[in-house]
Amino acid sequence: MAFGARLAAAMDQHGPLCVGIDPHPGLLAAWGMEDTARSLVDFGDAVLEASAGECAAVKPNAAFFERHGSAGVAALEHVLGRARELGILTVLDAKRGDIGSTMQGYAESYLRPGAPLEADSLTVSPYLGFGSLKPALDLAQEHGKGIFVLALTSNPEGPEVQHAIAPDGRAVAAVVAEEAAALNNGASPMGDVGLVVGATVGDAVQRLGIDLDRVNGPLLSPGVGAQGAGPAELSLVFGNARGRVLVNQSRGVLQAGPTVEKLREAVIEASSAAKSILR
């Protein structure tokens, strides 16, 4: 089954929550854990056990694993494999972006079935040109995987590139959205090419002439709830596309650890809040 259909089914069953797996040093310390690769395994296992059956997906952040070298990458491999065993969809947050054979290499690392770091979907950067993503897009389509393309991020530096005007007069973010829409055209219940759109970008979607509903793909959105975005902000940013928003929660859930019981309570609460805020 294609990724978009699998994600839509998971969102229908469990709600729109995506739980981040971000074992940064401060959080490990708050959990009473040493900053080691072994701790990353224990951290990931706890989040996965708490999240199973309570959210649509989880999002491991590759950077917090890679900083521990080969042992950290092995910990990420374990977390991705354990998520598969539990039947939880994964969004690997690696933001890869390159050209030609290098992009092909990234794609094979994360999207090829049987790869050690196989994930259900991958975040990518389009800022070497959307066409540079073709190796990842092709491999994802071949194997029923998903791609989340950075479009309108919530960091203050984002507009320098994303709001810039391309030679054809469109904003760069609008070009990204239209390319994704073309790839998702006709897909049901939604396509496999999603966008990363921050919930706190205000009226940027309207100002830049972006039609998120026409994208017809999942919209991975940080910034909901504790980070400031409520129903009014979500309505402004996503409009009629709110039903395809995948709400990312990391800090708000993970601070409840280290016990699985407390984490599960936080996941359930975040899931309920995400459902309510997107109505």
The span from the CA of 237 to the CA of 206, in Å, is: 8
Total number of domains in the chain:
1
The CATH number assigned to the domain holding 23 equals 3.20.20.70
The span from the CA of 110 to the CA of 100, in Å, is: 16
Residue carrying the six token digits 């991958």? 122
Residue 271 three-state SS: helix
Q: Enumerate residues 6+ apart whose C-beta is below 8 A from 195.
A: 148, 149, 150, 151, 152, 176, 177, 180, 212, 215, 217, 218, 219, 220
**Pick from 180, 247, 174: which is nearest to 216 by CA?**
180
Are the C-beta atoms of 82 and 45 separated by less than 8 Å?
Answer: yes
Measured CA to CA in angstroms, residue 160 lies from 90, 156, 195, 208 at distances of: 30, 9, 18, 13
pLDDT of residue 227: 58
Catalytic sites, residue numbers: 95
The span from the CA of 109 to the CA of 130, in Å, is: 20
Radius of gyration of the chain (CA): 18
pLDDT of residue 228: 66
Are the C-beta atoms of 41 and 68 separated by less than 8 Å?
Answer: no
pLDDT of residue 233: 81
Instruction: pLDDT tens for the chain, 279 residues: list them.
Output: 999 999 999 999 999 999 999 999 999 999 999 999 999 999 999 999 999 999 999 999 999 999 999 999 999 999 999 999 999 999 999 999 999 999 999 999 999 999 999 999 999 999 999 999 999 999 999 999 999 999 999 899 999 999 999 999 999 999 999 999 999 999 999 999 999 999 999 999 999 999 999 999 999 998 876 556 777 788 889 999 999 999 999 988 999 999 999 999 999 999 998 988 877
Structural domain boundaries, residue 133? 3-277
pLDDT of residue 120: 98
pLDDT of residue 8: 98
Residue carrying the six token digits 């694993």? 65
pLDDT of residue 277: 83
pLDDT of residue 223: 80
